[in-house]
Structure 1
Amino acid sequence: MFNFFTPLKANSILPEVKVKFANILTQRDSIMELQAELNSIVDQEVSHEAYFMKKSQVNNAISELYRDIEELEGLGILIKSFDEGLLDFPSKRFNEEVWLCWKIGEDKIKFWHGKNEGFMGRKPLSIRGTFNNDDLADLR
């Protein structure tokens, strides 16, 4: 079931989300290493068995990564960029659908942007009247 996040709700699950996202990034790095190993096997004189064993490792790692991505996105969170470490949480500002945004290294979700804006369009949540004041109490 789809839900919009308030700043309070998004920040309440952020510790869990950070762990899940860090794990996804680690898995992605591991897959890239496994793929490099597989590519080097292709260039070497190795048995078909060795190739398929490494290929199986790559496939299993990719399957696990996709399961974890689905789990995170199943919470209603959009992975905006792996490279930049960006996540977006769907929200509403008055009657407008917007994104609450978080970047790896930030301690809380403190910014939002419009649906057609990206990271460069981020605005602080603390702008008076932007969101329900009760939802911003944890940001002060």
Structure 2
Amino acid sequence: MGNHAGFSNTTGEKNTFLGYGAGAANTTGHGNVFLGYWAGYNETGSGRLYIHNSGFTSPLIYGDFNLRTIQINGSLNIADASAASDLSFKRDIKPLEGSLEKVTSLKGVSFAWRTDQYPDKGFRDGRQIGLIAQDVEKVLPELVKTDK
């Protein structure tokens, strides 16, 4: 729905195109959801989610249904969240060696985001508190995912 939404799609199926130019270049993709003005207009794949407004170079929300991943390019405020941690869901449980030493070796920092260099990331202004991913990766590499 929207002018030029799904314009080039010839054989794709089970797509949702909502907004001017949404998914316009997608010719054969299936299972996509494109919401917003020019959302995913260059995307040619399948199983993708775009929530976007062409005023920015990267979408506010991008997802890959096949990989079960989502990327949010902006601030995310959550009132409540939970993750399954019950023993009944787990198997092959092994203790972490030196876990206290690993955690205490991480150094907290305060910092400011490079908002001028990365305007589409939605970074907040002002001082922040956190960890540096590269420092965490040296100690607990399984906790860090990097862009490829």
Q: Decide which structure has greater helix share.
A: 1
Alignment TM class, shorter chain as reference: under 0.3
Calculate the TM-score normalised by the size of structure 2.
Answer: 0.23
The higher relative CO (CA closer than 8 Å, separation ≥ 6) is in 1
Calculate the TM-score normalised by the size of structure 1.
Answer: 0.24
